[in-house]
Amino acid sequence: MDNNNNIAPGMYGEVRPEAPSAEMGFQPPLFDEKKARKHFSGIGMSYLIFMLTAVAAQFLLGLVLERIWPEAFDDYLVNLLASLLPMYIVGGGVCYLCLRRVSAEKPAAAEKWNALQVIGGFIIAYSMMYLGNIVGTIIGTVIEMFNPSATAATNDVQTMVLTGDMAVNIIFMVIIGPIFEELFFRKLLCDRLKAYGEWVTIIVTGLMFGIFHGNLTQCVYAFLLGGFLAYAYLKTGKISLTIGYHMVINFFGSVVPLVVLTAFSPAGFADILETGDINAVTEYVTENLSSFALFGFYIVMVFGLIITGIVLITVALCRNRIHINPGRIRIPAGKRFSTVIVNLGMMLFIIIGIAFIIIEMFI
């Protein structure tokens, strides 16, 4: 049989050859609900331990620094290290040891994305992240309208990053952070989910990645971004691709805005406008033409990427170019939610993770 007859070109690589069927002499493994629930519970418990260990290590480190170096938290770099190192080293290390007990599979024969597909994938990832950020901010604003004491629309991490040091942002936010997060939330996680199908892998990865961020605004966009990065990893088998996507997205989110806001201050311009002095406004604009041009270019670029991403997603869906493959183990209809989510590890991860998000809104 010529395998090429079973392969059709698509927007994001080729459709993989159909899975072997019963007619071909292949019998898929029988579904063992108890074993599957235990598998997903092990995954949920591993990332719950990750989350709790990281929080505990951060808290203890904070207490130590407060005692021996009270001024430490006035320094942006120290703040960042006190947050990231306990998570990456302590929490990540314990999670890895736990995950070694959970069976994994490497991605199947990988698709090859050409340059246009790689660029298109980045644009889609960026647009999904930004749209998720907008949706999360809207939800947070609505919550704050009904409960003024909440900070649901505030992204403390983003606020800290936009007032931080550029070199530090590049090292930790653009380089180290994406490598770590992609290894744990794409490579290690997806490899342990893919046997149950790409839909399960995409949704669970997005859900866990979103909850792990511990912030309402970040939760929404991390869910969408995490899901797409899982899709890209499953299709190409290249963790380097998703690391690259993540690095560029974080660069646009933590370095580029810092450059723009350093050159142009919207708050400063608003103060000039409030004076109502036309001459003062004219003088300000004339003296800061290059800053206005940079700010304008940035805004056009952001909305251009968002619109292009929406168009690409729409075209891909309308032309049936997004192909989700079933897994080696098929969960029967009606048992998917109870198998994947309703188990001890996953339920504890979700409940405690959401509790952290709620606590973060009111503290």
The pTM for the full model equals: 0.86
Mean pLDDT of 7-20: 44
Q: Which of the listed ranges 79-88, 136-145, 187-196, 283-292 does the model predict with the highest average pLDDT?
A: 187-196
Kindly tell me the sign of the dihedral angle through the C-alpha atoms of 57, 60, 63, 69.
negative
Q: What is the arithmetic mean of pLDDT over 263-268? A: 74
The phi and psi torsions of 81 (rounded to 5 degrees) equal -65, -40
Q: What is the mean pLDDT of the chain?
A: 87
Task: Please check whether residue 22 lies inside any domain of the structure.
Answer: no
Q: Tell me the pairing of strands 9-10 and 13-14.
A: antiparallel
Give pLDDT, residue 302. Answer: 93
Residue 111: domain span: 32-362
Q: Which two tokens stand for residue 320?
A: 């049936």
Element (H, E) at 13: strand 13-14
Q: Is residue 13 part of a domain?
A: no
Two tokens, residue 33: 């609900």
Distance CA 201, CA 91 (A): 22
**How far apart are alpha carbons 26 and 81 in whole angstroms?**
52
- Who wins on pLDDT, 27 or 193? 193
DSSP run (H or E) holding 14? strand 13-14
Strand-pairing partners, residue 9, are 14
Phi, psi of 13 (to 5 degrees): 90, -165
**What confidence category does residue 212 fall into, taking pLDDT thresholds of 50, 70 and 90?**
very high
**Confidence at 1, pLDDT banded by 50, 70, 90:** very low
- Rounded CA gap, 204 and 191, in Å? 12
| Statement: residue 3 has pLDDT above 80 | no
Q: What are phi and psi of 325, to 5 degrees?
A: -90, 145
pLDDT at site 305: 95
- Rounded CA separation 159/87 (Å): 20
- Structural domains in the chain (count): 1
Report pLDDT for 265: 74
More confidently predicted of 335 and 31: 335
Q: Residues 282-324: pLDDT tens digits?
A: 887 888 888 888 889 999 999 999 999 999 999 999 998 888 9
Secondary element (H or E) of residue 9: strand 9-10
Looking at the domain assignment, is residue 336 inside a domain?
Answer: yes
At residue 346, the pLDDT reads: 98
Confidence (pLDDT) at 22: 46
9 lies in a domain? no
In a domain, 25, yes or no: no
Check pLDDT > 80 for residue 76.
yes
Dist CA 123 CA 117 (whole Å): 10
Residue 100: CB partners within 8 Å, gap ≥ 6? none
Residue 37 lies in a domain: yes
Q: Pick the most confident of 103-117, 257-271, 279-293, 326-340.
A: 326-340
More reliable by pLDDT, 112 or 362: 112
Q: Is the pLDDT of residue 151 over 90?
A: no
For residue 350, pLDDT beyond 70: yes
For range 74-103, the mean pLDDT: 93
Q: How far apart are CA 309 and CA 218, in angstroms?
A: 19
Summarize pLDDT for 101-112 with one digit per residue, the tens: 999 987 676 788
Q: What is the pLDDT of residue 227?
A: 96
- Average of pLDDT values for 30-55? 95
Please give the full DSSP string across 20-86, using - where no structure is assigned: P-GGGT--PPPP-HHHHHHHHHHHHHHHHHHHHHHHHHHHHHHHHHHHH-TTGGGSHHHHHHHHHHI
**Phi and psi at residue 211, to the nearest 5°:** -60, -40
Residue 233 is assigned to a structural domain of this protein: yes
In-domain check, residue 8 = no
